[in-house]
Chain A
């Protein structure tokens, strides 16, 4: 006998920590031999070793047949080994299972209740539809076995049978029900267990058992079973409202008297989910009692009780927000708990508790979770989970959610919210750039009063070189620069020094930004430039002309850095912009709109700026961007006699298209009239934002000549690179 015993194997593994895999591989080799042995002891030992190796991740499905051999051993200890191996390794599709039917029948009929117990436990794991069908009768008759030890096991195994062979439920349910009156408490408990599981899937069918269960509720002192019964009633009462009335006295009794926190908790839980607070006569008193009992949970130093207390409150929240609000202070304290599980549960509640008054305070608390702690002692006690990206992202999502829910109805001060969003950009530490970008854009566009502040805040982001430097890391959230650039471009009239803003757009390093951000940068350069140049034209003189010339020259050079972008959109826009700047530059430097002042005998400039400058402005700012409700268009009645589908002019033949272009160019870029409300805050549900393009022009979809020209150049240039 040189075979390793299970103990030897375990010792060996522990002694070979460094080359564990190699050692186990060698052992498996031996097991392969041993398992074929004719000596049942060696075979059983091999199977036992395999079960151990299965636990640490080694497949043993190849040995299924040998497992069945060991299961059928007459020796009790070997039978135990065999059945254990089967429970650990057999699957529904294990083919040797069909060999086990007779074996199981034999073991179930054994005179030794312990052997029967092993077989029952084994069956609860390996049962298949076939086995369930074949053994159903045997098991049902075993419900009246003389030993409670067997009866309780049979009851539980029957549930597993029902899952595989639903027919068995119909056949055995009357017999199963009888067991509710069993003399042994463990058997009754097992039956209640099974009924609970069955009722979870189909509560209606078990309403008829209510009287019997009710009797148990009043007489039993087995807390484990009471918990199960009370949970079961929680599922039944919504189906049968009359039950609630009947249940209230015993449950109230339990709530008042029980010393077991688990039972107390389940009673309160059932009162909540069983909708008993709404059906009873003195529901206010009951609700108050539940809340005061839950308070005990929340105030308990035991973290577990605190946790389940919060869990229960979150279930009350949808129906009774006021009751939850009574515990606001405790809940807010739980947000700062050092235990992440409790924090998350408290956060769920907080999200439902937010109102106008406490929003800023709650957000402040949540934000503080994201900040590194100033106090060194404090930081060492914080669990590392707080620094985990998933947790941080969760916090940020919740902040945004509570602020933006119901169309921002909880926010009183939007400047504060913009400041929060900007702060989040810096402290997030996880990639939430997309979310922040949408929020900033949404608020910036929808809330007129905040625009000035928003533009200012965006300047801070744009000028921050650290965002640019770290833009290749997603957690730097440099994506918000998209919003920053867009807001700056669109609302550039709020800029104090537009030239500075343009400077930010073309500062070194911006070409490292994501392509979609770069594209917005270029467009924004144009927009701010158009605005600034136009504002110069009001006090047009030689100085401003020189300034414009110099600046245009500079910007034309700077914008070239985007021209070599690998992204086609960026490249196209860059060439577009550069072309526009060079046209303006050329125009400024060649046209000398000067007149001879006869009186003073000198040449002086006129006060009129070149038309090209004033023409650039309407390109971007003809009409203000306003929020438009998605259904707004439908609300405008179509004037009588207007057929929107009729052509205004007959469509032109293809060949003449080019000639007509010039003539129709005037509305090629046009935006329609300001549309929708002009209120400061327009918050219809799901407001969309947009400029309506002229219906007719977009239908035809042509470009202005200028565009066409640039496009050609772009194509040429991009091929030259």
Chain B
């Protein structure tokens, strides 16, 4: 009885997600103005053959700066969480 209920809930939830997923259409974006512009002018304006790198490091440099800062903060947080309390002298520390 209980397992039947579980399986029923699982089927209903999976069906709900699959219904939403099946409606998606890939490869036909609604708005392509920005993509077309970057594909047409990206190499010329950034000097980078790899358009993805051109977008990440030139058009959206501030975004990349934020990512790098987030990574820096992540390391600070991890060093705080994983610090060893009451460590001995000879132990390796990383904080």
Q: Report whether chain A binds chain B.
A: no
B residues adjacent to A (C-beta < 8 A)? none
A residues adjacent to B (C-beta < 8 A)? none
